[in-house]
Amino acid sequence: MKLTARSGLGAVATVVGDALRREGIEAVLTGGACANLYTGGRHQSVDADFIVSGPTSRSAVDLAMENIGFVRRGDRYVHAHARFYVEFPRGPLAIGSDYRIHPVEWRTAYGRTLILSATDSCRDRLAAFYHWGDRQSLRVAVRIAVTNRVSLSKIQRWSIEEGVREGFEQFVDELKRARARK
């Protein structure tokens, strides 16, 4: 797959994830790009964040990215044609204080990649709401929960463990309102 200026974020993320996988690098798509996939593009992001699991070298990541036309510029990988850049934030893969993350495989015509589950992507957005008061992240978490199957019991348990029961209650209230509008 050749990336172009018209390639969407989902295509870029899948091409990158597939290239990493082919080189034996296990990496999981997280953050706003993952939310973009689960909201059908309603949540916009300018980058794709991958957390690398397991031992790998920066040169191995550089090579995998170069094979698909990306070059490293500081902490980012940019492509001559694609409008989205790629970053590899420092791991480990976690949501808040939960390190028991089980990624799922996302398959498209462009390849396959590991991503957070819909439940974990929802929790990822809620973490930004809980810890930084980011209301947009709350809206995105609601959108993910409205359009995908998520485990509210898992989200509730995690929210309580994070010490933000009230934040979870706000999420549930917003979710009920969104479902009523649907």
Q: Are 25 and 52 in contact (CB under 8 A)?
A: yes
Whole-structure pTM value: 0.93
- pLDDT greater than 90 at residue 104: yes
pLDDT reported for residue 54 = 83
CA 48, CA 180: separation in Å to the nearest integer?
Answer: 32
Q: Are 82 and 71 in contact (CB under 8 A)?
A: no
Task: List, for residues 106-125, the tens digit of each pLDDT value.
Answer: 998 888 999 999 999 999 99
Query: Residue 163 — pLDDT band, cuts 50, 70, 90?
Result: very high
- pLDDT greater than 80 at residue 1: no
Q: Percentage of residues in the chain with pLDDT exceeding 70?
A: 100
Residues 99-123: b if buried by 16+ CB within 10 A, e if exposed = eebebeebebebbebbbbbbbbbbb
Q: What is the DSSP letter of 117?
A: -
- Residue carrying structure tokens 């420092």: 90
pLDDT reported for residue 83 = 93
Burial of 9 (0-12, 13-18, 19+ CB in 10 A): buried
CA 132, CA 135: separation in Å to the nearest integer?
Answer: 9
Query: Residue 31 — pLDDT band, cuts 50, 70, 90?
Result: very high
Pull the structure tokens for residue 173: 């209230």
- pLDDT greater than 90 at residue 32: yes
pLDDT reported for residue 111 = 87
Mean pLDDT for the chain overall: 95
